[in-house]
Amino acid sequence: MKPNAGILLVILIALLHSDIFCQETPPENINSLLEEIVTSHSENYDADTDFSELSNELYYVSQHPINLNNTNKKALSRLFFLSEREINNILRYVEHYGPVKTIYELQGAENVSKQSLRWMEPFVTFEKKDKPLSAGRWFNHEILYRTDRKLEQQKGYISDSSEGTEYLGDPYRQYFRYNIETQNISAGLTADKDAGEPFFSDPNEKGFDFYSAHLKVEDLGFVSRAIVGDYKLQFGQGLNIWSGFSMGKSPTLSGIKKYGYGLKAYRSSNEAAYMRGVGVTTKRNNLALTTFYSRKKWDANREFNSDSSDYWVTSLNEAGYHRTDSEWEDRNSVTEQMTGFNISFDKNRWHFGLIGWHSTYDHPLKPQDRLYNYFRFSGRKNFIGGLDVSKVFDRGQFYSEWSMDKEGDMALLAGANFFLDSRLTLKTVYRNYSKYYNNFYSNALAEGSRTNDEEGFLLGVVFLMFDDFSLKGYADFFKSRWMGFRTSSPSNGREYSLQLNYNPSRDFQGYVRFQQETKDYNSTAEVPVQRTIPRKRTKLRAHFSNELSETITLKNRIEKSFIDYPEEKSEGFLIYQDVRYAFQNIPLTLTGRLAMFDTDDYASRLYAYENDVLYSFSFPAYYDKGRRFYLLAKYELISGFTAWLRYSRTKYNHRQTVLSGYNEIEGDAVSEVKLQLRVKF
């Protein structure tokens, strides 16, 4: 299937169904929430991080809004930007004053910020409504197709010998999804092919490189939820198991305490962050039991024995790229099987959770012989067991989670929120992860990318100063007892963040932010004995958003970064202007940005979220010196049929090549075009 064939397929289906119903695309202010979440967590991720799961979740909730007059704490916890205190006060307000009719009535709820109310708006409703069904049909359908590519020719597609190109496929990325649902049943199919991967050609005759599907059934007697196919599990604070996207530290403090939603359907194209098999959640009174089985294949880097008859796995690969012969050979190299359970009990504002799961691999895992890998998992089998406990009080809350692997190595996280005043909240979190502890599915609060070999304490504060001003900040102190990839000895670090928000109205929001992080890294000097030295990174940002009218919205940002390293210093600068224009007479919306950036090196890079097509993400790193712009057009072609077209281009001032490796481009610019079509009927 070529790109044009996929486009024609979506158009044909749309035209064949004359009873397509009109259902609005989720409100645009979801993009503001996405931008805040992503940019707030930019220090924890890089430009290749897949945030599509996050956008999928937000858009799904917007299409299945929470009825505020008939809800509970667990349902509201899906809105992860709400604090525990805000959730409790919203529920208490509705219980005390009766049904509410608009989001603005909740301004009377104690300690619920204007920003939270603005973010809530797309995800809530006030009347119980059945999910809309098209005329004469039992099911709703969504079909989506997306294709994109870099316009300049990249090194991997250039043939320089009789052996052909390094990349096995064409430069198009292609994505397809189909979802179908009725009142208690839903199913979905997702297919994805990355740029450079073969498509209905040798060695991949099956078309797309990645397929994901699920069937979900809910509310069938004591069976609360059952999923066959691909799913994810999220329990406790993420220490024992949390598959999929997980938020960490941020200036908004929104991801400090997690709200595990349990068993969830998987709809993303990320090729690693899921389970494949069956999961079932049953409930009786205050007790819930989730059991699950998963069998899936991982890409892996391998080393063979002397006669090449077998191999062991040196590391699991989560990128999901199969563009070259070597990447293709590593595809599906090891099979993982998992079985497990989670039991939870909730009563009188207490929560208790007990979890245990076992995993096996058909090839042994043995990390490369590096000092920083000395305590990494090795073998064919692992077991994880643990507990999580939480309690809500009138003036605060406490939560904790404990985990242990098969060797008895432990990890602990404990936190408490103190409601000191009607406008002042204090948040504390302590974590202690043994350097011996190994869990591939642990995704708890951590400074590093893995929840092991770390001890830390975080102190955060939320201060609702006045009606229009709020102050949020934290200080985090952490240390490692063993060496890491870029640290040749035990290391220490600290991080400070402070953000002042100004929200005088729903039309204008702004904030200023200060962030500073000091961490130990290896010295770059050529010395007989490697040593670590502290590196300080400071960032200053001012951001403003102003909705001038129903048609025009402006966003402005200016940001500065400083790297203070004893052996080198660098600075970075970014400024951009966003404009969104919604035409009144035609169903067309245009969103664009012009950005200017100037950084001394990659270390002083800056990140900025960009509006993209539905369910997709753009989160580039701005570094070197140049300018970037993009233009996104969204058009409602006919009722229920929407098209997006996006073009972006980055131009560097003094470069002869762009990108690196097989992605390298001869020249000083890189451009990308993206087309997406969606039909709902």
Using an 8 Å Cβ cutoff, are 610 and 630 in contact?
Answer: yes
What pLDDT does residue 90 have? 87
Mean pLDDT of 645-667: 94
Mean pLDDT of 474-494: 91
Whether the pLDDT of residue 220 is over 50: the answer is yes
Mean pLDDT of 193-220: 92
Whether the pLDDT of residue 135 is over 70: the answer is no
What pLDDT does residue 647 have? 97
Instruction: Say what percent of the chain tops pLDDT 90.
Output: 54
pTM value? 0.86
* DSSP structure string for 345-401: EEETTEEEEEEEEEEEEEEEE---S-GGGTTS--EEEEEEEEEEEEEEETTEEEEEE
SS (H, E, C) 28-64: CHHHHHHHHHHHHCHHHCCCCCCCHHHHHHHHHHHHC
Nearest CA to 413 among 421, 402, 426?
A: 402
Mean pLDDT of 269-281: 92
What pLDDT does residue 526 have? 67
Neighbouring-strand partners of residue 117 = none
Model confidence band, residue 28 (pLDDT cutoffs 50, 70, 90) = low
Check residues 47 and 556 and name the one with the higher pLDDT. Answer: 556
Encoded tokens for 274: 């899921």
Whether the pLDDT of residue 37 is over 70: the answer is no
What pLDDT does residue 23 have? 39
What pLDDT does residue 25 have? 44
What pLDDT does residue 3 have? 45
* DSSP structure string for 163-210: T--SSSS-S-EEEEEEEEE-SSEEEEEEEEE-TTS-SSBTTBTTSSSE
What pLDDT does residue 139 have? 82
Mean pLDDT of 475-488: 90
Mean pLDDT of 482-509: 89
**Helix, strand or coil, per DSSP, at residue 306:** coil
What distance in Å separates the CA atoms of residue 681 and residue 532, rounded to the nearest whole number? 59
Least confident of 268-272, 495-499, 524-528, 541-545: 524-528
Whether the pLDDT of residue 408 is over 60: the answer is yes
What pLDDT does residue 407 have? 92
pLDDT in tens, 149-206: 999 999 999 987 666 778 999 999 999 999 999 888 999 999 999 999 999 988 988 8
User: Is the dihedral angle over the CA atoms 106, 112, 118, 123 positive or is it negative?
Assistant: negative
